[in-house]
Chain A
Amino acid sequence: MSAPALVIRGLVVRDRQGHGLVRGVDLTLPAGGILTLIGETGSGKSLIAQAVMGLLPDELRAEGAISVAGREAEAGDKPALRRLWATHTMVLPQEPSAALDPTMRLLSQLAETAGKTNATSALDAVELSGAAARAWPHALSGGMAQRGLAAMALVSNAPLLVADEPTKGLDDERVGIAIRLLASLRDRGKALLAITHDLRVARGLGSAVAVIRDGVIVEQGSAEAVLSTPTHAYTRAWLEAEPARWPPRPRSAAAQHPVLVCEQVGFGYTPRERLAERVSLSLRPGEIVGLCGVSGRGKTTLGNVLLGLHRPHAGTVKWIGGADPYADPPAQRRLRRQYQKLHQDPVRAFVPFRSLARQFADLKPVLPPRALSDRLPELLDRVRIKPSLLARKPAEISGGEAQRLAIVRLLLLEPRVIVADEPTSRLDPIVQREVIELLTELARTRNLGLILISHDQALLDAVTDGELLL
């Protein structure tokens, strides 16, 4: 048996102030094996990948030893680690289409280093042959670009591949494809270190799993053992945060008048470029309707159509009392505050250079009287946010806090309908669960209609009363 593909001993990464971001990590990845490192944002998992590649930012200091296929290096010796690129280590980047040279055809790019025969056989192995192999990178789909990079990994001599968040931003179907592709690389003798916060990757790749929290490995072992019978409380909490494991929700059966109806709506960016036709839905107070579909099918645009932000080409949108926001501008102005949106990126939903307290104060003219003095403290308490946090600017709070504050801001406006556009896709699983639970509970207790846009089928199955597939 040859030397292990990767051995990390006593890896410590410190910032300028000497705080340990990664504190004493030991990992071993056998030749031709797979190790999935899971952890939430800020847990230090990406720093480990960067340390292996010699790519840590200059302001960080690394200690410990890293050995790749028998080649030893100090973790702090970045030039030595970088000399291992292509011969020993290779990164599979997050954005595959950006990693290909746009000025060269796929086959020529591979042939440049590996020779034409090797390049062709590698492309055959990932099922990119014929026209696809001779295509320019811009003509490749995201999935094809990913396979192109996998072929590049195959022609390189590197025994160790590092994949950082290989499934970020992919929908269910593409996640499965990406996982199969990564597994096929192992079948061809490559060892794989996958860094992810997506449990589907850990489950799909199998083999070994390590769970990292606050720069420390809290649990490691075979994927089967860790994911089915976790020993550490944190791993358990994480597994339970998966939407598929959430308890079923009591369905609301309120027979009230709908607060939002759309009939036979057709919409798109321009009249020629239509995204969807004949979409109809009806939303009652307290009801949660899921909107799902592959990216690019117009989920966000439909949300905007319903909110009176994007005029449809056909059909009608009716707000409360049958008011059409597009045909009746005074009604839109009157009802504006009652139809609100929760954005995908909560941090960007706040003005970056104003303190949060000032941004809440800015709303004063449009809020009901005493909303800021009486209701704001109560709502902050409800979402467990300390009022002192409002003194900060949006970049200084976490994504979960920002999303909870965005919800508070919406509630101050006393809405009837909230369109939540992928409200948790940028949050970690445990935070995602908190936010979704908060939203569903608010829908129930405050009787507001909620439209939940997501590409995560399991999430929608867990909480919605009905679903619309685009």
Chain B
Amino acid sequence: MSEIARSVADTVRTGQRLPWAGPALILAVVLIMILGPRVWPVSPTAQNLLDTLAGPSLAHPLGTDHIGRDILARVVHGAPLSLGFALLVVAIGAAIGVVLGLVAAERGGLIDILIMRFTDLMLAFPGVLLALLFAGFMGGGMVPLFVALTITLWPQFARMARAIALQTLAEPHVEASRLAGLPPAAILARQVLPPVLQQTVVLAAFSVGGTILTISSLGFLGLGMQPPTPEWGAMITELLPYIHQAPLQLAAPCLCIFVTVLAFMLGGEAFARRAMRGEHAP
């Protein structure tokens, strides 16, 4: 999924000409997530059955949905659920993956084989399928969704961390530290972790975009967060039957997903470019 979005970012090439576009968009989206509910303190779940599928007005700048809830409030309150949730999932998935990858690279032998074969096993399943299975068996809701998404994410991070760590561990500076008798944990933390983290940030930025899409897809299928939670994917499911009467209301959550995913893809691109040029040395 992130491949598709990455190729979109490649085609747009905005990241190349406007290197700050990605980071700026991320900042904007995060600000909306944090400040939005305060600036627009309308309840996202308050219904008004006398005012359904209304067009934009001063009271409802983005209109109302089929049971009269304010779309702007739902979109704004949905940000922490879609984006915040995705950030949390990626942070935990990345942490698990990086730790396992480093352990595999440093220990080698049987431990390496066990960890990496398990990683391969997880990678062999398409991510959405795995999340779908998991969420399906455990029923909808936040916790199963969280576990399912984390399970699909960590293997990529473990692979990447191991690959970079192996390369770094073969460097003369690591050998010099080992010969000096420095403890392995100190060598890992000071000499191996920084280059791994640099790439982790890039992969994490791409993963946030992909994860938002997965959350929304599962929400759309009814397996993610349940109504009346104003999650973007779930909103699309709810509004899809009214596409002809209320196109603007349906477009709002779609655009939110689009802009947020694009922001993180471009941000990832920008960071990767910086890392390639070696400007960012941790």
For the complex of A and B, the 7 pairs showing the least CB-CB separation, nearest first, are A353-B281, A343-B172, A349-B172, A336-B181, A366-B181, A348-B172, A351-B173
Task: Count residues of chain A with CB under 8 A from any CB of chain B.
Answer: 26
Give bound CA distance, A351 to B171, whole Å.
9
Contact indicator B182/A341 (Cβ below 8 Å): no
> Is B244 engaged at the interface, CB distance under 8 Å to the other chain?
no
- Which A residues are CB-close (under 8 A) to B177? 362
> Is B184 engaged at the interface, CB distance under 8 Å to the other chain?
no
A-B contact pairs, 28 of them (CB 8 A): A333-B181, A336-B180, A337-B179, A337-B180, A337-B181, A340-B179, A340-B180, A341-B175, A341-B176, A341-B179, A343-B172, A343-B175, A343-B176, A344-B172, A348-B172, A348-B173, A349-B172, A349-B173, A350-B173, A351-B190, A351-B191, A352-B281, A353-B194, A353-B282, A362-B182, A366-B180, A393-B281, A406-B176
Q: Which residue of B lies closest to A353 (CB)?
A: B281
- Which B residues are CB-close (under 8 A) to A340? 179-180
New A-B contacts (18) at CB < 8 Å, excluding given A348-B171, A363-B182, A406-B176 = A333-B181, A337-B179, A340-B179, A340-B180, A341-B176, A341-B179, A343-B176, A349-B172, A349-B173, A349-B176, A354-B190, A354-B191, A362-B182, A362-B186, A365-B182, A366-B181, A409-B176, A413-B180
Give bound CA distance, A340 to B172, whole Å.
12
Give bound CA distance, A340 to B182, whole Å.
13
Q: Mark A302-340, 1 if CB is under 8 A from B, else 0.
A: 000001010000000000000000000000010011011
Q: Which residue of B lies closest to A332 (CB)?
A: B181
- Which A residues are CB-close (under 8 A) to B281? 352-353, 393
**CB contact list, B27-44 vs A, under 8 A:** none
Which of A337, A345, A354 is the one whose CB lies under 8 Å from B172? A345
Q: Which residue of B lies closest to A349 (CB)?
A: B172
- Which B residues are CB-close (under 8 A) to A351? 173, 190-191
Q: How far is the CB of A46 from chain B (nearest CB, A)?
A: 22
**CB contact list, B167-211 vs A, under 8 A:** 171-173, 175-177, 179-183, 186, 190-191, 194-195
Give bound CA distance, A343 to B180, whole Å.
13
Give bound CA distance, A340 to B177, whole Å.
10
Q: Mark B156-176, 1 if CB is under 8 A from A, else 0.
A: 000000000000000111011
Which of A309, A333, A409 is the one whose CB lies under 8 Å from B175? A309
Q: How far is the CB of A365 from chain B (nearest CB, A)?
A: 7
Q: How far is the CB of B136 from chain A (nearest CB, A)?
A: 45
- Which B residues are CB-close (under 8 A) to A362? 177, 182, 186, 190
Give bound CA distance, A307 to B175, whole Å.
11
Give bound CA distance, A139 to B194, whole Å.
40
Give bound CA distance, A344 to B177, whole Å.
16
- Which B residues are CB-close (under 8 A) to A344? 172
**CB contact list, A351-377 vs B, under 8 A:** 351-354, 362-363, 365-366
Give bound CA distance, A344 to B282, whole Å.
26
Q: Mark B265-282, 1 if CB is under 8 A from A, else 0.
A: 000000000000000011
Give bound CA distance, A353 to B282, whole Å.
7
Give bound CA distance, A365 to B183, whole Å.
10
- Which A residues are CB-close (under 8 A) to B191? 351, 354
Give bound CA distance, A345 to B176, whole Å.
12
- Which A residues are CB-close (under 8 A) to B182? 362-363, 365-366
Q: Which residue of A lies closest to B190 (CB)?
A: A362
Q: How far is the CB of A326 from chain B (nearest CB, A)?
A: 15
Q: How far is the CB of A375 from chain B (nearest CB, A)?
A: 15
Q: How far is the CB of A211 from chain B (nearest CB, A)?
A: 33
Q: Which residue of B lies closest to A395 (CB)?
A: B278
Q: Which residue of B lies closest to A348 (CB)?
A: B172
Q: Which residue of B lies closest to A340 (CB)?
A: B179
Contact indicator A339/B173 (Cβ below 8 Å): no
- Which A residues are CB-close (under 8 A) to B282? 353
Give bound CA distance, A348 to B176, whole Å.
10
Q: How far is the CB of A302 from chain B (nearest CB, A)?
A: 16
- A309, A349, A409, A413, most chain B CB atoms within 10 A: A349
- Which B residues are CB-close (under 8 A) to A336? 179-181
Q: How far is the CB of A198 from chain B (nearest CB, A)?
A: 24
Give bound CA distance, A351 to B172, whole Å.
9
- Which A residues are CB-close (under 8 A) to B179? 307, 309, 336-337, 339-341
Give bound CA distance, A351 to B169, whole Å.
11
- Which B residues are CB-close (under 8 A) to A409? 176, 180
Q: How far is the CB of B175 from chain A (nearest CB, A)?
A: 7
Q: How far is the CB of B187 from chain A (nearest CB, A)?
A: 9
Q: How far is the CB of A351 from chain B (nearest CB, A)?
A: 5
- Which B residues are CB-close (under 8 A) to A406? 176
Give bound CA distance, A258 to B48, whole Å.
93
Q: Which residue of A lies closest to B195 (CB)?
A: A353
Q: Which residue of B lies closest to A342 (CB)?
A: B176
- Which B residues are CB-close (under 8 A) to A348? 171-173
Give bound CA distance, A343 to B174, whole Å.
11
Q: How far is the CB of B101 from chain A (nearest CB, A)?
A: 19
Q: How far is the CB of A282 from chain B (nearest CB, A)?
A: 22
Give bound CA distance, A336 to B182, whole Å.
10
Q: How far is the CB of A417 from chain B (nearest CB, A)?
A: 11
Q: How far is the CB of B195 from chain A (nearest CB, A)?
A: 8
Q: How far is the CB of A317 from chain B (nearest CB, A)?
A: 15
Give bound CA distance, A340 to B176, whole Å.
8
**CB contact list, A11-45 vs B, under 8 A:** none
- Which A residues are CB-close (under 8 A) to B172? 343-345, 348-349
- Which A residues are CB-close (under 8 A) to B175? 309, 341, 343
Give bound CA distance, A349 to B177, whole Å.
9
Q: How far is the CB of A150 from chain B (nearest CB, A)?
A: 35
- Which A residues are CB-close (under 8 A) to B195? 353
- A309, A351, A363, A409, most chain B CB atoms within 10 A: A351
- B172, B190, B195, B282, most chain A CB atoms within 10 A: B172
- Which B residues are CB-close (under 8 A) to A365? 182-183, 186
Q: How far is the CB of B171 from chain A (nearest CB, A)?
A: 6
Give bound CA distance, A353 to B278, whole Å.
10
Give bound CA distance, A350 to B177, whole Å.
9
Q: How far is the CB of A179 from chain B (nearest CB, A)?
A: 31
